[in-house]
Amino acid sequence: MTKTTENSQENQLRYYTLARQQVGDLLRSGLQLFRKNNNVTGEEQCRALLVKLAEDRFNLVVVGQFKRGKSSLMNAIIGRDLLPTGLLPLTSAITTLCFGPQEKVYIKRSDWVFEQEINFSELPEYVTEQGNPGNTKGVIEARVELPIPFLRRGLFFIDTPGIGSNRSENTATTYAFLPQSDAVIFVTSVEAPLSEPEEAFLRDVQLYARRLFVVVNKVDLLAEKEVDSVFDYIKTGVSRILGSSDIRIYPLSARLALESKLHSGNPNVGQNGLEILEADLEKFLAEEKSQLLLVSILDQLLRIVSDSVGALPSDNSLSDEDKGRLLELQSAAVALRDSILNDFKKLPEPFRKVPRLTKSEKSKAISPLQTPAITFKTRACPICAALGQLTFDFFAKYQSDLIEEDEVRKAFVKSKGFCKFHTWQFEQISSPKGISEGYVTWVEKVASDLRLASHLTPAQQRNYMDKILPDSENCLACRILREREAILINQYINYISTEEGKEYYRRSLGLCLPHLKKALETNLPGDVNEFLFNEQARHFEELSEDMHNYILKRDAIRRSLANDNEAGAWKYALIQLVGARDFKTNGDGY
């Protein structure tokens, strides 16, 4: 592999990763919006798409009219006589082939909470009309796991019930599954090529399938002189229905193809037409599958959004704000889908600049919190104690807002997250999943910024780092604590300006030195200043006396004689000197 090829593949992977993350962000935004408006259907559908995106699940769905040989074709492609075939239709259940390290079969039933594992030999009892007439067993899906390379990397190869049989539920099941298809193999045959129901069905299929493979099965039933005319008739009909002559048709015999694979030396090897289809499928899965998966998920999200208003309860209506968010979601999904379809390299970079937060964005970035009342009975600095409680309340609420609110995440990125000190405080209270959901957008932003700065001069790169590194000026926690600290100090000063407040201050340890300094900056009356300095000096003298007594009693091996004040004097001394360690109002730490 050449260096150019390696770089191209690396770029494609990077573009896919970025696009996948952006699709995930849109799905989460939709899920949160539908949850807020009690749209249970929309919420569940968005969650299902998130699961699909997380699994990288790509649905390659085989569809067609009853008895066109869909199951036989799938057997031929995987080289196993696995799926039941015969004259009777399959029951109204989806059969899915996917990769697994061991061969297993699981049955999902409508009246069962857990999936049921069965033996391979039992599969016909659940997915055929003979074994399960009218689907009386309530089978929703039969999932077959196989260690086959074709099924690796998230490919789900899906067999659907044939349309047009005397079982109307079969047709209904297939139509209901069409929106979940990412690519479709449409199977017809030479027996009754492109019947009227098939034509109508093919028109419906193209509404959902952005990649369509058309297979003409059972060509072995035709006389040699009939092949060209039948094939031309089908190709003309397909081109007319799809509105394009650039449609490749794959004539083959699934029966002979399977025999070729099962019995080496069969004279039909190389003459059944399956090799061309398999080569095109492999090329498609290698080069287009990832891109088309994202496009398909966005298509499904847009359908959910367009149906969302009708899914709301009758007593609920979207607010103007939520209508705007719905339109923004729709617009963003269309823009991202168009970018992916156009070229991965032209994906929009959503976070190239970091403008300062507007006043509106600041209000959205900072969760509304009540300023806690000052606890006057605490031995430690009361301002420190109140701010410590505020810090805990802020992080407890902010972690959920950061996960659920798109606007909060955007503001978080613009503010460059928390400073170093508050980042690690946030880590102590949040969960790994909460941190991942809250920080992933900012991490993506930093990666984009670093890549943009890679071509700058060293001096420019050093300056650029100032734009990337978090700081206390923009730290949301620092900002809210600074604002509430000023409020608390004013409350405190007003209190100790009274006789009751002065009496309290004499019995307490008073303010720590940093908060005493800030209190003095509020231009206190001269008598209050003098009172604070004298009382604070007395507090430190008492702390010093308690610390001396503690040292003496420890040296004399009389630890039990130390009272609580003496035993805790060292800790209160530190608090009074520098403030409590549970918070900072300027905590960048760099």
**pLDDT tens sequence across 561-572:** 666 677 777 777
**pLDDT for the residue 557:** 61
Residue 47 lies in a domain: no
- Distance separating alpha carbons of residues 157 and 51, to the nearest angstrom: 17
Q: What one-character-per-residue DSSP string does 125-137 give? A: HHHBTTTSGGGTT
123 HSE (CA, 13 A, CB side): 21
Q: Do 231 and 370 share a domain, yes or no?
A: no
Query: For residues 173 and 161, is the Cβ–Cβ distance under 8 A?
Result: yes
Taking each helix axis from N to C terminus, what angle separates 289-311 and 274-287, rounded to the nearest 10 degrees?
70
C-alpha dihedral sign at 405, 409, 414, 417: positive
In Å, how far from its chain's centre is CA 265? Answer: 50
Query: For residues 490 and 460, is the Cβ–Cβ distance under 8 A?
Result: no
Residue 298 lies in a domain: no
Place of tokens 């430690």: 380
Other C-beta atoms lying within 10 Å of the C-beta of residue 274: 22
Burial class (CB in 10 A: 0-12, 13-18, 19+), 482: middle
* Greatest Cα pair distance in the chain: 115
**pLDDT for the residue 315:** 47
- Distance separating alpha carbons of residues 202 and 199, to the nearest angstrom: 5
pLDDT digits (tens, 9 = 90+) for 249-274: 899 999 889 888 887 655 454 456 89
- Distance separating alpha carbons of residues 82 and 75, to the nearest angstrom: 6
Residue 335 lies in a domain: no
Last residue of a domain, one of 277, 308, 334: 277
Token output for 463: 């300056």
Q: Do 260 and 368 share a domain, yes or no?
A: no
Other C-beta atoms lying within 10 Å of the C-beta of residue 107: 22
Question: By C-alpha distance, which of 30, 563, 76 is closest to 300?
Answer: 30
**pLDDT for the residue 367:** 41
Which residues in the chain land under pLDDT 50? 1, 3, 6, 267, 269-270, 311-312, 315, 345-372, 376-377, 588-590
Q: Do 422 and 528 share a domain, yes or no?
A: yes
- Distance separating alpha carbons of residues 218 and 200, to the nearest angstrom: 22
Amino acid at 447: A
Q: Do 271 and 389 share a domain, yes or no?
A: no
Question: By C-alpha distance, which of 64, 63, 60, 34 is closest to 47?
Answer: 34
Token output for 263: 């019995």
- Distance separating alpha carbons of residues 505 and 507, to the nearest angstrom: 5
**Can you tell me whether residue 108 is helix, strand or coil?**
strand
Burial class (CB in 10 A: 0-12, 13-18, 19+), 140: middle
Place of tokens 């503001």: 411
Q: Do 118 and 221 share a domain, yes or no?
A: yes
Question: By C-alpha distance, which of 207, 208, 205, 182 is closest to 53?
Answer: 182
**pLDDT for the residue 162:** 86
Q: Do 372 and 268 share a domain, yes or no?
A: no
Token output for 310: 């009708």
Query: For residues 218 and 67, is the Cβ–Cβ distance under 8 A?
Result: no
Q: Do 261 and 401 share a domain, yes or no?
A: no
Last residue of a domain, one of 226, 244, 277: 277
- Please name the helix (run of DSSP H) or strand (run of DSSP E) that holds residue 141, with its range, or none: strand 139-146
- Distance separating alpha carbons of residues 117 and 103, to the nearest angstrom: 11
Last residue of a domain, one of 277, 300, 320: 277
Q: Do 370 and 230 share a domain, yes or no?
A: no
- Distance separating alpha carbons of residues 122 and 518, to the nearest angstrom: 79
Q: Which domain holds residue 543?
A: 363-590
Token output for 178: 């069409």
**pLDDT for the residue 391:** 80
Token output for 59: 């649905």
What is the tally of structural domains in the chain?
2
Residue 171 lies in a domain: yes
Residue 337 lies in a domain: no
Residue 273 lies in a domain: yes
Token output for 30: 């939709």
**Can you tell me whether residue 328 is helix, strand or coil?**
helix
Residue 8 lies in a domain: no
Token output for 286: 């290698």
Q: Do 383 and 252 share a domain, yes or no?
A: no
**pLDDT for the residue 360:** 47
Residue 268 lies in a domain: yes
**Can you tell me whether residue 427 is helix, strand or coil?**
helix
In Å, how far from its chain's centre is CA 580? Answer: 38
Query: For residues 438 and 412, is the Cβ–Cβ distance under 8 A?
Result: yes
Q: Do 367 and 256 share a domain, yes or no?
A: no
**pLDDT for the residue 352:** 28
**pLDDT for the residue 320:** 74
- Distance separating alpha carbons of residues 332 and 339, to the nearest angstrom: 11
**At 128, which CATH number?**
3.40.50.300
**Can you tell me whether residue 405 is helix, strand or coil?**
coil
Burial class (CB in 10 A: 0-12, 13-18, 19+), 513: middle
